[in-house]
Structure 1
Amino acid sequence: MSSVIEQSVQARMVASAPRMETLPALLSYDRAYPFAVRMVFPGPATLEGTEVSWEFARELLTAGMDDPAGQGDVRVRPFGYDRTVLEFHAPEGIAMVHVRTEELRRFIQRAQELVPAGEEHLYLDLDQGLTDLLGEDH
């Protein structure tokens, strides 16, 4: 079984214009980093023309599909009966995207099969983490 899950999703960028742009995004989950998920937007989908990646807690994504969650750079909340809004806060501004909740639930289910919620600590490599933190080469 692979230690990384990737899933393409279609996100809709919320803008001041009435029409929302559809853009591709990639969700990924790596068993080596069991508490986090990553959402990547390819260069053509961003204002800067370069790939933009956001990492945030898997628990935040899970909770935010049912109730508003998050207070920092990433916030997640349900929108209507079939969408979830992800807000990404950066110094340049706020990006808000809508994603079908069903797609997010499928992604979270696959991540749960790889690393069940509550068992993330069993997949941490604390020795490697300390080595990385202290800058030691062994």
Structure 2
Amino acid sequence: MSTVIEQSVQARMVASAPQMETLPAVLSYDRADPFAVRMAFPAPATLEGTEVSWEFSRELLAAGMEVPSGLGDVRIRPFGYDRTVLEFHAAEGIAMVHVRTADLRRFLRRAQQLVPCGHERRFLDLDRNLTELFGSR
């Protein structure tokens, strides 16, 4: 069984113009980092021309599909019947994207199969994490 899952999603960039641009994005979840979800946008979809990746908690993603959640750099909230808005706050500004809630639910179900919610600590390699933190001596 793979320890990493990835899922492509279509994100719609919210802009001041009336039309939203569709962007490809990839959600990923790694059992080695069981609390985190990553969302990556490819280089052509970013202002910098380099891939941009945001990391946030799986719990935040699940909660944000139901009620507005998050206070920091990533904020998530439901939008209408079938969309979820993800806001990414950075020094350069705020990027807001809409993603189909059904796609996010499917991704979270796959992550749940890999690491059940509430069992994340069982998949942490604390010895490896401490070695990385303090360096091998």
Provide TM-score, normalisation by structure 1: 0.98
The whole-number CA distance in structure 1 between the counterparts of 2:117 and 2:68 is 19
Aligned to 2:75: 75
CA offsets 1:29-74 (integer angstroms, 9 cap, x no match): 0000000000000000001111000000000000000000000000
* Consecutive unaligned residues in structure 2, runs of 5 or more: none
Aligned to 2:11: 11
After superposing on structure 2, the runs of 4+ consecutive aligned residues of structure 1 that deviate more than 4 Å are none
Aligned to 2:37: 37
CA offsets 1:79-106 (integer angstroms, 9 cap, x no match): 0000000000000000000000000000
CA RMSD of aligned residues (A): 0.5
Aligned to 1:92: 92
Aligned to 1:134: 134
Number of residue pairs matched by the alignment: 137
Aligned-residue sequence identity (percent) comes to 78
* Other structure's SS at 1:87 match: strand
* Consecutive unaligned residues in structure 1, runs of 5 or more: none
Aligned to 2:108: 108
The whole-number CA distance in structure 1 between the counterparts of 2:109 and 2:132 is 30
Aligned to 2:52: 52
Provide TM-score, normalisation by structure 2: 0.99
Aligned to 1:20: 20
Cα offset for 1:135? 1.3
